[in-house]
Amino acid sequence: MTAPQRLRSRTEPRHCGWCGLHLPDPPAADGRVGRPRRYCTQSCRQRAYERRSAVQRGGLPDDAVVLSAAELADLQDRLFQLRCAAEDLVTAADDGAAPHELTTLAAQVVRTAHGLERLR
């Protein structure tokens, strides 16, 4: 890895490898050494370990994403919410809505999309 890649990776936001929550940036002078955290909690770390073990036993590829039926339904619900928010924005624009209304609807699309950043 070159120096610019290392610098870039330190400035990009990091997310938990299991739940997708944003990981706080450690203070520069906190005295910590070693690798940066990959998981927000010990529980997420354990769930990721269990998933890796199950993938190895089941013969799935390493990059497979395994979701429970409830997690899949939740993801589909959030995708539907995003589509509805985007359709509301397009409809308002077609109807000649005021700029402040379009801004409000666009902000709703962004909030909904932000909720989709996490898989679980």
pLDDT at 27: 63
Low-confidence ranges of the chain (pLDDT < 70): 1-11, 26-32, 119-120
- Cα 64 from Cα 110, distance rounded (Å): 27
pLDDT at 78: 92
Say what the pTM is.
Answer: 0.55
